[in-house]
Structure 1
Amino acid sequence: MIVFASDLDNTLIFSYKKKNQCQQKVICVEKKEEKELSYMTQIAYNTLQKLCQKIVFVPVTTRSIEQYQRIQFFDKIEYALTTNGGILLRNGHVDKIWLEETKKWIASSEKELQKAIYLLRKDNNICFEIRIVDDIFVYTKSLQPQKTANDIMQKLDLNQVFVDTNGEKIYIFPKILNKGFALKRLQNLLHCKKIFSAGDSHFDISMLQQSDVAFWSGEQNIVMKKGVCHHWQQNVVEFGENVVLEIEKYINI
């Protein structure tokens, strides 16, 4: 089995805010209350659809289940990893065995996650509700995200959790919860012959390192564990399209 495990936002899909960067025909793949939110170029969409006849496409996202399910591809996706890999969806339904295993893996982090919530509630820079996403990790936003992150890292047990930022967003994850670990679990489940992957942010690096062929648009260089990494610093519209076109070349060799 050949798998294409890919991040979604700013990798395969791009937001309405970046639509004006695209001179090509686009297809809307996400709506919320009839408002169009995310797109793919028609070339990327059609190429991915063709690829799915030959390989298994697995979205791997930090989005919650609800946020992921707003995205509508051409067919029902058989496998999808949401919530930073903590949840596996099979044909749109939560795989209960996977979730039970996740809960066991992250159980030791629960105390620190609750402590993080307590600390965030006392932080005057927090400008968004504090969420426990799918009962797995903590998410909020801060007016001074780096200060918020630094402050709580000094008070949390970083052997149990890790704190991350992305713009104004603040994440507190169980230490073991990352996309690379999720992909390794999926590899054991599906007995993958070869894995392609794509990503744009530091959330994706562990997943890319777990792959045979990776596509990366971030700034830093990635040290791969076994495979090869194509490092393309392109805008999100070009990157997603070029990734699926390049994988198509690999598959057709």
Structure 2
Amino acid sequence: MNTHSRTAPVMVASDLDRTLIYSANSMALGGSDHLAPRLVVAEVYDAAPLSFMTRAAEELLEGIVQRSVFVPVTTRTRAQFSRVRLPGFGRGYAVTTNGAVLLHDGEPDRDWSRHIQRSLGSACAPLDDVLGHLAGPAAVPAILRVRTAEDVFAYSIVDRQALPDGYLAELDAWCAARGWTTSLQGRKLYCVPSPITKEAAAAEIRQRCGAGLLVAAGDSRLDAGILELADIAIRPAHGELDSDAYSRSNLTVTAATGILAGEEILRFVTSVLAQAAAGAPAPTTAAAY
């Protein structure tokens, strides 16, 4: 039996990069150029366009923002997220820094920030220990640069082809023993404290806004938690989770890859919202949509 209130809003929590927005290198457009979809710029960096979505995707997202509690949930820092321009930007809730920062109407939530700091102090090795492991004597040449995100977690730019066999498994084990997790997304290798998760921040927002049905989308292992938290989930047929053949009973996988998968995700979410508005029973699996 469906337990979601018909009067409760639907919450849509979605990753951004390679889920809704795409760099030129990640679009994966095929076929003749004249058949390519019309595109809009979703991000500008150093006065140049950096990320895109299809025009149809932007129009679909405008409708989703109007009909749901739409929450961008990203590993980007606040500064990186501020460059992205999506419908509804600066209003409502957003999650950045992989869940370490909860924004409301563009401002960080202080209560959530205090909660995160308490969690890190009791459960995880210091950031400096992880930086020392990545860039110190144990570093490998394939780790090209190591950076930090708001003094919360570390990410490295890597040469994937040059990574030694077994390095990722060894790093994962080393981090897990110290309360950290790892994720390789494209050329970025993330090391993140275990308490900092997208799903924890999404659950907090869901409680605050009184949402009923939760729909989620994402492509990486750092998104797996929000997909598992959701009632209805969808992922693109590319990315880290696709490489893992990640599957769940509540999960749909797009037919398309690249930027057209982003459009397909938003069409799927739009259909979920339409059925919810029509009063159709909210199913326990995405296949019913």
Q: Structure 1 length normalisation: TM-score?
A: 0.89
Q: Which has the higher contact order (CA 8 A, sep 6+)?
A: 2
> Would the aligned equivalents of 1:14 and 1:39 in 2 still touch at CA under 8 Å?
yes
- The 5-angstrom pairing of residues 120-135 of structure 1 reads 120-122=134-136, 123-125=139-141, 127-135=143-151
Unmatched 5+ residue regions in structure 2?
Answer: 1-8, 30-34, 276-289
1:214 aligns with 2:233: yes
1:31 corresponds in structure 2 to 44
Tell me the secondary structure at the aligned position of residue 12 of structure 1.
Answer: coil
154, 179, 184: which one aligns with 1:138: 154
Comparing 34-43 and 169-178, the one that deviates more: 169-178
Deviations 1:149-200 (A, max 9, x none): 3444454552511233224322211112222222222222222111111111
1:40 aligns with 2:22: no
Q: Per-residue deviation at 1:222?
A: 2.3
Change (3 A) 1:3 1:244: same
Largest Rg, 1 or 2: 2
1:6 to 14, 17, 25: 14
Supply the distance in 2 between the matched residues of 1:51 and 1:150 (Cα, whole angstroms): 39
Q: Once the 2 structures are TM-superposed, how far is the Cα of residue 73 of structure 1 from its aligned partner?
A: 1.5
C-alpha change, 1:157 and 1:12, in structure 2 (3 Å) is closer
Whether the 8 Å CA contact 2:254–2:265 is kept in 1: the answer is: no
Q: For 2:187 and 2:268, locate their aligned partners in 1 and report how far apart those are by CA, in whole Å.
A: 33
Q: 2:265 aligns with which of 229, 243, 249?
A: 243
Report the identity percentage: 24
Kept in 1: contact 2:27–2:258 (CA 8 A): no
Equivalence for 2:121: 107
Give per-residue Cα distances to partners, 1:61-104, cap 9 Å, x unaligned: 11111111110123334211011111111121111111111111
Change (3 A) 1:35 1:159: same
**Alignment partner of 1:90 out of 96, 100, 104:** 104
Alignment partner of 1:111: what SS?
coil
After superposition, where does 1:128-167 map in structure 2 within 5 Å?
128-143=144-159, 144-145=162-163, 147-153=166-172, 155-156=174-175, 158=177, 160-167=179-186
Identify the range of structure 1 (178-187 vs 99-108) with the bigger mean alpha-carbon deviation.
Answer: 178-187
What's the secondary structure of 1:57's corresponding residue? strand
| 1:8-50 Cα shifts (integer Å, max 9, x gaps) | 1111111122457171111101000111011111111011101
1:170 and 2:189 aligned: yes
The more displaced of 148-157 and 6-15 is 148-157
Distance 1:205-1:129 versus aligned 2 partners, 3 A rule: same
Higher deviation after alignment, 153-162 or 84-93: 153-162
- What's the counterpart of residue 287 of structure 2? none
